[in-house]
């Protein structure tokens, strides 16, 4: 029997974070996926250079790909440098890929990368969210709820 996966992932060093995704999308489920990278991409990530603000993931031919993620060229990479916005393959188990495929096709959900980080073993990982897009009214409700929680916590602190 397989061990249950931990609720939170072992994030040692966060390289890039998509903070806007939690506002634009209602996150249903999270997955941890490995990244297939070239040598200069790993070096650029270790230097802390990456942008995933306008990136997404898609399922093509039974594989999951990270599209439009920007990992800039490594400064000392010379002719062996990588292409900054190339699609990168994500490493997931077949069962996870099947679950993601079903959700995207049937329920109309989106695969959004939330962060790129290095885990405790030094491997580059992507926190991938299965999310549903929010409409403008939903965003307003989300802001209203968030502000009310903040105000409520402030009132409780003051009254002790």
Q: Which domains does the chain have, with CATH numbers?
A: 13-133 (2.40.280.10)
Cβ proximity of 21 and 76 under 8 Å: no
On whether the pTM is more than 0.85, the answer is no
Of residues 154 and 12, more confidently modeled: 154
**Token pair 């249950």: residue:** 4
Tokens of 139: 């965003």
Beta bridge partners of 112: 129
The confidence band for 152, taking pLDDT boundaries of 50, 70 and 90, is very high
pLDDT given for residue 13 in this prediction:
87
pLDDT given for residue 10 in this prediction:
78
Rounded average pLDDT over 2-16 = 76
pLDDT at residue 92 tops 70: yes
The confidence band for 153, taking pLDDT boundaries of 50, 70 and 90, is very high
pLDDT given for residue 7 in this prediction:
64
Tokens of 100: 């993601």
The confidence band for 84, taking pLDDT boundaries of 50, 70 and 90, is confident
**Token pair 């599209």: residue:** 67
Cβ proximity of 65 and 57 under 8 Å: yes
Question: Taken in order 141, 116, 88, 69, is the CA torsion positive or negative?
Answer: positive
Rounded average pLDDT over 45-70 = 91
Instruction: Mark 83-105 as b/e (b = at least 16 C-beta within 10 Å).
Output: eeeeebebbbeeebbeebeebbe
What are the φ and ψ backbone dihedral angles of 120, each rounded to 5 degrees?
-65, -25
Of residues 145 and 136, more confidently modeled: 145
pLDDT given for residue 5 in this prediction:
64
């Amino acid at each position: 029997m397989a061990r249950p996966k931990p609720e939170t992932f072992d994030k040692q060093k966060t390289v890039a974070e998509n903070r806007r995704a939690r506002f634009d999308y209602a996150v249903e489920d999270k997955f941890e996926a490995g990244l297939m990278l070239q040598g200069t991409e790993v070096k650029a990530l270790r230097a802390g250079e990456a942008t995933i603000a306008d990136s997404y993931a898609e399922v093509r031919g039974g594989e999951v790909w990270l599209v439009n993620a920007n990992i800039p060229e490594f400064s000392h990479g010379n002719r062996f440098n990588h292409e900054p916005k190339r699609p990168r393959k994500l490493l997931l188990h077949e069962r996870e890929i099947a679950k993601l495929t079903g959700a995207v096709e049937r329920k109309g959900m989106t695969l959004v990368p939330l962060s790129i980080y290095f885990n405790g073993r030094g491997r580059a990982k992507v926190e991938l969210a299965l999310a549903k897009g929010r409409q403008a009214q939903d965003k307003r409700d989300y802001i209203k709820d968030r502000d009310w929680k903040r105000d409520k916590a402030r009132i409780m602190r003051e009254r002790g």
